[in-house]
Amino acid sequence: MLDEADVKAPDPTDFRHARTLMEVHRPDVPFAGRTAVLATKHRKLRLIAPPMRPLGMDVTAVAVDTDELGTFTGEVPRPGPPLETAIAKARLGMAATGSALGLASEGSVGPHPTIPLVTADIELVVLVDAERDLVVSASATSLDIRAVTRSIEPGGDPTDSLDHFGLPGHAVIVRPNQGPPTPLFKGLRVPADIATAVVDCAAASPDGRARVETDLRAHMCPSRRPTIRLAAERLAARLATGCPACTSPGWGCVDVITGIPCRWCGTPTDELRAEVDGCPACGHREERATIATNTTGDPARCQRCNP
Ligand SMILES: [Zn+2]
Ligand SMILES: [Zn+2]
């Protein structure tokens, strides 16, 4: 369902809505006069539209059913990597509206890719421009994500068990602890409602317990929102940057290079040495050092000195 706050009329005092021919040709306003459709069910417009405004881009939400591309609550498994899912979502929105410009976001909450035992929220925002034949994405990672799972027995006061869920700002999902995921209750914030759902789900579970977990859908999970916003800001920064070779918008970091030489033995360590900027249109790449040339690496991160 589309949130009403997501579809409010454009602000007439915002000069971006009064476009001139001059503005259309300003290279620093690469999307002037164009409207992107954001495929979302979960009120992400207010997070993603504002960063796009300086590009001259209007963003409207389209309520397409992105659940067929997998759900956060796990009823439908995700078919592929987050970037592919985000691009597919954007194309769904474009197909539904006939727009040549689509935006979508995709989040994944799970084990941090490099830090053991830490849960990370990785948010991705992607722009698909059919006119320019361009796909540009940006991401942001946060460790400040609330993702809690508890198995709870029915009866008694669930308040103690619910301490870490961040209610009522966050919401929870309740399902049977074992067996098929029905019944399934989403978006619960009130302890009494959760207690009732726990009774129903525990009765359906072979072990007589209910599983209560953080509802990670963006409109139920405030701890995801700043990360989605940051990813959108990074995408906007990329879209505002032209490729030095072909001037296409979308120039930005696409890869990193590790290998600062170890202070003790000179072997390349796994520390970041440079970032690689790339163009989504022509494939041009440039390496950009992130350290001074004579920097030496930490022996603790050297395979030879500290295996
Ligand atoms: Zn070494
Ligand atoms: Zn280029």
Ligand 2 centroid to 149 CA: how many Å? Answer: 45
pLDDT band with cut points at 50, 70 and 90 for residue 28: low
Ligand 1 centroid to 114 CA: how many Å? Answer: 21
Please report which ligand is nearest the Cα atom of 243: 2
pLDDT band with cut points at 50, 70 and 90 for residue 29: confident
Please report which ligand is nearest the Cα atom of 285: 2
pLDDT band with cut points at 50, 70 and 90 for residue 78: low
Q: In what order do the strands lie in the sheet with 272-278?
A: 252-258, 272-278, 285-289
Ligand 1 centroid to 141 CA: how many Å? Answer: 30
Ligand 2 centroid to 55 CA: how many Å? Answer: 18
CA separation for the pair 74, 149 (Å, rounded): 14
Alpha helices by DSSP H, the chain: 21-24, 45-52, 82-97, 191-204, 225-239
> Has residue 289 got a pLDDT over 80?
yes
For range 133-145, the mean pLDDT: 94
Ligand 2 centroid to 22 CA: how many Å? Answer: 24
> Has residue 146 got a pLDDT over 80?
yes
Q: State the pLDDT at residue 293.
A: 87
Exposed/middle/buried for residue 113 (C-beta within 10 Å: 0-12, 13-18, 19+): exposed
> Has residue 139 got a pLDDT over 80?
yes
Ligand 1 centroid to 307 CA: how many Å? Answer: 9
pLDDT band with cut points at 50, 70 and 90 for residue 67: low
> Has residue 9 got a pLDDT over 90?
no
> Has residue 69 got a pLDDT over 70?
no
Please report which ligand is nearest the Cα atom of 245: 2
pLDDT band with cut points at 50, 70 and 90 for residue 76: low
User: What rounded mean pLDDT belongs to the chain?
Assistant: 86
Question: Which two structure tokens, joined as six digits, stand for 150?
Answer: 């508890």
Question: What is the bridge-based pairing of β-strands 210-214 and 172-176?
Answer: antiparallel
Question: What is the bridge-based pairing of β-strands 185-188 and 172-176?
Answer: antiparallel
Please report which ligand is nearest the Cα atom of 284: 2
For range 263-288, the mean pLDDT: 94
> Has residue 266 got a pLDDT over 90?
yes
Please report which ligand is nearest the Cα atom of 286: 2
For range 270-294, the mean pLDDT: 93
Tell me phi and psi for residue 102, to 5 degrees: -130, 150
CA separation for the pair 144, 87 (Å, rounded): 26
CA separation for the pair 40, 45 (Å, rounded): 8
Ligand 2 centroid to 185 CA: how many Å? Answer: 48
Ligand 1 centroid to 304 CA: how many Å? Answer: 5
Ligand 2 centroid to 188 CA: how many Å? Answer: 48
pLDDT band with cut points at 50, 70 and 90 for residue 75: low
Q: State the pLDDT at residue 74.
A: 58
Q: How many residues are there in the chain?
A: 307
> Has residue 27 got a pLDDT over 60?
no
For range 11-36, the mean pLDDT: 57
Inter-CA distances, 143 with 121, 213, 215, Å: 6, 18, 17
Q: State the pLDDT at residue 19.
A: 39
Ligand 2 centroid to 85 CA: how many Å? Answer: 25
| Side chain identity, residue 77 | P
Ligand 1 centroid to 264 CA: how many Å? Answer: 5
Of 160, 152, 258, 138, residue with least CA distance to 205? 152
Please write the tens of the pLDDT for every residue from 192-226: 999 999 999 999 999 999 999 999 988 889 999 99
Of 214, 220, 185, residue with least CA distance to 202? 185
Q: State the pLDDT at residue 70.
A: 65
Ligand 1 centroid to 262 CA: how many Å? Answer: 5
Ligand 1 centroid to 298 CA: how many Å? Answer: 8
Ligand 1 centroid to 292 CA: how many Å? Answer: 19
Tell me phi and psi for residue 281, to 5 degrees: -95, -55
Neighbours of 141 (CB within 10 A): 16
Q: State the pLDDT at residue 71.
A: 63
Question: What is the bridge-based pairing of β-strands 119-129 and 172-176?
Answer: unpaired
Looking at the chain, the whole-number percentage of residues with pLDDT higher than 90 is 65
Ligand 2 centroid to 259 CA: how many Å? Answer: 27
Question: Which two structure tokens, joined as six digits, stand for 217?
Answer: 């859908």
Of 232, 262, 236, residue with least CA distance to 249? 236
Neighbours of 13 (CB within 10 A): 7
Looking at per-residue confidence, does 13 or 191 come out higher?
191
